[in-house]
Amino acid sequence: MSSRALDCPVIVSCGDPSGIGPELAARAWEHFGARLPFVWIGDPAHLPRGTKIREISQPSEASTHASAGLPVLPHPFPAAAEPGKPDPANARAVIDVIARGVDLVMRGQGSALCTAPIHKKALHDGAGFAFPGHTEFLAHLAGVDRVVMMLASSNATPPLRVVPATIHIALADVPTAFTPQLLRDTVRITAQGLRRDFGFDTPRIAVAGLNPHAGEGGAMGHEELDWMNDEIASLRAEGYALSGPLPADTLFHARARQTYDAVICAYHDQALIPIKTLDFDGGVNITLGLPFVRTSPDHGTAYDIAGLGRANPASLIAALEMAARMGAARGA
């Protein structure tokens, strides 16, 4: 393990304490122990009863204590956490923990930030949270205008990395929102992330068509002919290794995945259905374009099973492993 990993561990924000985040953190520590020290920020009282913890005062202490217990940077919350029932009184503290985690990684005290799931409506109702989600709030804290969401598999072979250019909008709004400028920004940020965080010198990026069969020469839609072909050619002339627009229905099988390092999709389900089908438990949510590494498990708060001991820690474990690798790549 590198000295950087010991001095700058992955920082984990607690997320909604009424969801499955605290129990997943405890189980991730049981999985890793001292092999991958990480620091959990939250209220120790919200962790499952019997969790072995070691309260620390700064992240660099994590490696010393990780073999004996989960390293915790205490952050008191005003209310207890009842599984499955978010308390508005805790909303502000959830937000503050995220900001504290960002501050630590921005100051170099953590190699990466891994965020446990939040519930946006609970934060809005309890603290007036004004952001559509985690990603937009992190971009705001970092002072970044444009970021990109990537979902990456941990278990699929060949691996799959997907980037939805448009995210949480109605399907009817996608053709208007998916513009040449958005595609340009998405390609550039994705390529930079693949180089900086994944070690691809010349990343190969596929672009899915918006329409069935990538429009089939205008028979099934015109966006590919109207602007996508020209935009991709222009980006190719800048030096990007792009292919497309390609029919999405033949883009995700094993042989196709060998031809690219990431694929940019036009909309949410075009990207997320294939990766969740291929690697439901091992998918990792990554935010590209931030001045620090951020990963997250690819699932929500799961209020329906919180506190029952049934939550699967695989996605958080994968998110921690990916965060550590990406943090090491940036620190190299």
Cα angle: 70, vertex 72, 77; to 5 degrees: 130
**Cross-strand pairs, 164:** 265
Burial of 332 (0-12, 13-18, 19+ CB in 10 A): exposed
213 in a known ligand binding site? yes
Q: Cα torsion for 167, 154, 281, 297, to the nearest 10°?
A: -50
285 in a known ligand binding site? yes
140 in a known ligand binding site? no
Distance CA(12)–CA(294), nearest Å, equals 10
The residue type found at 48 is P
Distances (CA, A) of 3 to 23, 60, 281, 328: 29, 10, 31, 10
229 in a known ligand binding site? no
135 in a known ligand binding site? yes
Burial of 84 (0-12, 13-18, 19+ CB in 10 A): middle
Distance CA(29)–CA(66), nearest Å, equals 8
Q: Cα torsion for 137, 287, 182, 248, to the nearest 10°?
A: -130
Nearest to 296 by CA among 20, 18, 7, 1: 20
3-state secondary structure of 289: coil
Residue partners of 287: CB distance under 8 A and separation at least 6: 135, 138, 139, 147, 148, 149, 150, 294, 295
276 in a known ligand binding site? yes
Is the distance from CB of 69 to CB of 54 less than 8 angstroms?
yes
Distance CA(243)–CA(251), nearest Å, equals 11
Q: Which residues are annotated as a binding site for a divalent metal cation?
A: 168, 213, 268
Q: Which residues are annotated as a binding site?
A: 134-135, 168, 213, 268, 276, 285, 294
